[in-house]
Amino acid sequence: MNPKLHEATPMRSNGQGRKSMKSNGRVRASVKSNGLGHPSPQSNGQGAGPASSNGHSPAPLAPAGGQNRVLMKSHGEEAFKVFSSAVARLVSKGQRTLMITSSGPGEGKSTIAASLARTLARSGRLGVALVDADTVRPKLHDLFHIENRRGLGELLHDVYHVDLSRENPDQFGVGDWIELIRAQSRTGKLQVSEGAEEFSIVFNKGRVSSLFDHQGLQRNFLGEMLVTRGRISDEQRVSALRVQEEGSYPLGKVLEGLGYLETGEVEAVLQLQLKERLHKILTLRQPRYQFSEMVESYLPAAAGSPADASEGPAVDRFVAGTAGDYLKQPYLSSQVPGYLKDTSMENLKVLTCGERAYDLYDAHFASPFAMILDRLAKRFDVVLVDSPPVAFDSATASLARSVDGVLLVVKANELNASVIQQAKEHLTRSGANILGVVLNQVDLFKDEALPYYHSVYR
């Protein structure tokens, strides 16, 4: 296979409904090197790079003769080594969750994803997780000769959308509760208690809006807390509360707006308080949990709620982000690995598409899917996602925001370049980070790059 990764540039039309680098009646991706691939010297930096086949042998790289088949294999293997090395460099720079997609079906993206996963794992230096998120035409289970049952669909339904009211609450740690409530976008209150210690974590549509200690409830109000810490005077607190009553802004924003506090100072104070409370929760030996569902209108009003209730975004960022890795998650830590399939390589695992239906375009599944990717990224060095082709009715473009970058696979001599350009624009509008284009199934024997490659390898 002969993949090569390039940064795509606009293509010009040849007047026949297709666009190409030259007016030869074929679709040729106009590309330039972005440090990931190396254009042919004959291309002036804009030649189409070779790419992999989808399981078929590439075209011969030399005139007909007994060495053709050996040349095809050696060139294909070498090209894929270069491609995988380019991806490995991306991983080393922190781009560890990568989505592999295409503009349309039949361009070989699943084969590229599977081969890339094998090549990265074969180095022995990286742990690789490969996820089949193509609900239209899942293929990874066939490519790896493993069963499709108990895959991503089952993980989403059976684990992330487990009925919390019917489960034994004691099997969950506080981290499990927070992640599952977030995944299900629940609104309500999670009570955590042990003996005289009692804490409440309030959620609004899955986001943590408040975390307070019942024993220290009188000290939980933001204004009083800031006065106690000497950050503001009691007179400033009263003045800010009056302004808050007239509007709907959080108290912290009012204090900053009036100039009583510097920008970001409220969040720093809240984080300090949250650290103290979370530390207390984590030190509970045998806590009891109870989640009470609530409707949004019954959540505490901002003016009379504990300090962090009116500063919800800051609380959610801290609890789900900064502190999330330290929260106990015995349930998810034991359940999720059971859905990963073993392969012939110990450091390569596959999460197949599964048999249960799900739609990643629906936030009901898209939100927990993003959490699954985050969880896998904490365990593996690189996570590759085989997603459906980019189409205006597919979830690929929106899901691309959940990964570090996207590789767009393009099959040579097939699709109209305008379709490829539309796919690229659709991804870009959705906020995707397109890392490069993989030009696939190039006929190198007919390609003008052939003389260069032949001269190098003969």
Site of tokens 């979830």: 395
Tens of pLDDT, residues 155-187: 999 999 999 999 998 899 999 999 999 999 999
Which residues are CB-contacts of 142 (< 8 A; sequence separation ≥ 6)? Answer: none
What angle, 0 to 180 degrees and rounded to 10, lies between the N-to-C axes of helices 68-92 and 109-122?
80
For residue 248, the model assigns a pLDDT of 64
Higher pLDDT, 315 or 363: 363
Residue extents of the structural domains in the chain: 5-156+333-457, 174-327
Tens of pLDDT, residues 70-95: 444 555 677 778 888 999 999 999 99
Percent of the chain's residues with pLDDT above 90: 43
C-beta atoms surrounding 313 within 10 Å: 12
Q: Which of 348, 327, 287, 283 is nearest to 130 (CA)?
A: 348
Q: Is the pLDDT of residue 256 over 80?
A: yes
Question: In this structure, are strands 348-351 and 207-213 parallel, antiparallel, or unpaired?
Answer: unpaired
Which residues are CB-contacts of 350 (< 8 A; sequence separation ≥ 6)? Answer: 117, 129, 130, 131, 132, 140, 141, 144, 146, 340, 341, 343
C-alpha 406/C-alpha 99 separation (Å) is: 5
Site of tokens 């992999």: 52
For residue 264, the model assigns a pLDDT of 77
Asked whether 100 and 90 are in contact (CB, 8 A), the reply is no
> Among 142-156, 375-389, 425-439, 440-454, which stretch is predicted with the lowest mean pLDDT?
440-454
Site of tokens 């220290």: 216
Helices (H), 340-432: 363-379, 396-399, 417-429
For residue 417, the model assigns a pLDDT of 78
Q: Is the pLDDT of residue 451 over 70?
A: no
**What average pLDDT does the structure give for the chain?**
78
Model pTM?
A: 0.76
Helices (H), 391-433: 396-399, 417-429
For residue 70, the model assigns a pLDDT of 47
The dotted CATH code for 5-156+333-457 is: 3.40.50.300
Task: Give the mean pLDDT of 310-328.
Answer: 76
Asked whether 351 and 130 are in contact (CB, 8 A), the reply is yes
Tens of pLDDT, residues 337-351: 999 999 999 999 999
> Among 16-30, 208-222, 340-354, which stretch is predicted with the lowest mean pLDDT?
16-30
Q: Is the pLDDT of residue 301 over 70?
A: no
Q: Describe the strand order of the beta sheet including 97-102 as a list of residue ranges.
A: 31-32, 5-8, 434-440, 405-411, 97-102, 382-386, 128-132, 348-351, 341-342
Site of tokens 């972005």: 34
For residue 321, the model assigns a pLDDT of 78
